[in-house]
Structure 1
């Protein structure tokens, strides 16, 4: 699967920078740039191929909803996720009617942002390999209407073993403070390479939250913390 090309459309530089830093923590995405208005975004779309726009609603001049309307009229092949403080019924309904694939209300946590983009990427990967589709496939992959028994099933990725997953989950869910992969590898008693696979898997499930901590020098250090209230279904272990 190719890298998903993303553009941020946000007039607030602090919010745009936050979205950029969130995006940089995720694999499979590349940020092409940021635009501070709908007009600027339309100009960029004429010259650059973009897969996904992260769009604010409230902007001077052309609003984010007006931008989506122009995009649909011009038939640009680009998807849109709204990242906005607008939470009124009219804005939400208009965004859905215009085909927004997700809607994030400010302020939000990284795990919600991460989940939105991971679901989008998974859908793109599935659609990219699609030849024929059944109603069950559409319900499960696109419209999130899997049957309860399907939701409870877990297919472990390559390199993730069930018994080790149980040990890792018991360890991370009992730690109240943030931790690094190196620290958790010592606690669980497996290699750093292995622990990163399990932490990434739990993060993708929304059970762990990862944030990059930037020091004065050197590369950022990834800090993990348990997503309070989240739980791994017992029949997955």
Structure 2
């Protein structure tokens, strides 16, 4: 399970975020903070931080700034990833958060699907980071750095739906290899349609295709997310 810390001062929003996070397979909320002071205390507690892989941090808190919290987190050397989850989206704040290495910057209000998509991306990233050895190959490094990058909207060719492409990409990220038929079954698409989207992902370098052996008849093409 991926442990998540929520840093949010509004009780209703905190409850909503807890519910949304725990609806996504593989995640659970292991810490909650409603102020900067409470978050700082948590960051200094090894027992708390041992249960946290990802922190969802609001930028505006009643007694401090989420920016300062992320700086403090980085200063401790803790290997905790961060999503900025906030209504603040001025260019300076976004640049500062990016410089601090936040994995995603999610602007309120957002939909449950927006958060789910980013959590599923993070789950794929976390799995790759865990599986990668102490001396990763260049291919493994490229895949790890690419795991949190969404498929570019400008790359969607004529005849393909961006919404369906995003759905196929999220499904592939969360799976350990899928055929076109398996992808179609999961998403309610025909095998031929699913294959078009999967081949597009291969074409733009987001996925890779390999032959799957071990079943009767001809080998089946299997697709895996890479970057």
User: TM-score scaled by structure 1?
Assistant: 0.63
Q: Which runs of 5+ in 2 are unaligned?
A: 156-164, 200-227
Tell me the alpha carbon deviations over residues 152-191 of structure 1, each in whole angstroms, 9 at most, x when there is no partner. 99797579771782696259xxxxxxxxxxxxxxxxxxxx
- Shift in Å, 1:235: 4.8
CA distance in 2, matches of 1:124, 1:137: 13
**For the aligned residues, what is the CA RMSD?**
3.3
1:80: how far off?
0.8
Structure 2 SS opposite 1:133: coil
Alpha-carbon distance in 2 for matches of 1:145, 1:12: 29
SS in structure 1 of the partner of residue 19 of structure 2: helix
Question: Which residue in the other structure is 2:158 paired with?
Answer: none
CA contact (8 A) 1:37 1:60 kept: yes
Instruction: Tell me the equivalent position of 2:20.
Output: 22
Question: TM-score when scaled to structure 2?
Answer: 0.65
SS, match of residue 188 in structure 2:
helix
Structure 1: segments with no counterpart, 5+ residues? 172-230
Is 1:65 aligned to 2:67, yes or no? Answer: yes
Preserved contact between residue 129 and residue 144 of structure 2 (Cα < 8 Å): no
Give the equivalent residue in structure 1 for 2:97. 95
**Partner residue in 1 for 2:79:** 77
- Equivalent in the alignment of 2:11: 13
Preserved CA contact (<8 Å) 1:38 1:63: yes
- 2:168 pairs with 1:162: no
Q: 1:73 to 1:160 in 2, by over 3 A?
A: same
CA contact (8 A) 1:85 1:105 kept: yes
| C-alpha distance in structure 2 between counterparts of 1:80 and 1:89, whole Å | 18
- Please state how far the C-alpha of 1:87 moved relative to its aligned partner: 0.7
> When the two structures are aligned, how many residues end up with a matched partner?
174
TM-aligned CA distance change 1:98 to 1:161, over 3 Å = closer
Aligned-pair distance for 1:140?
3.5
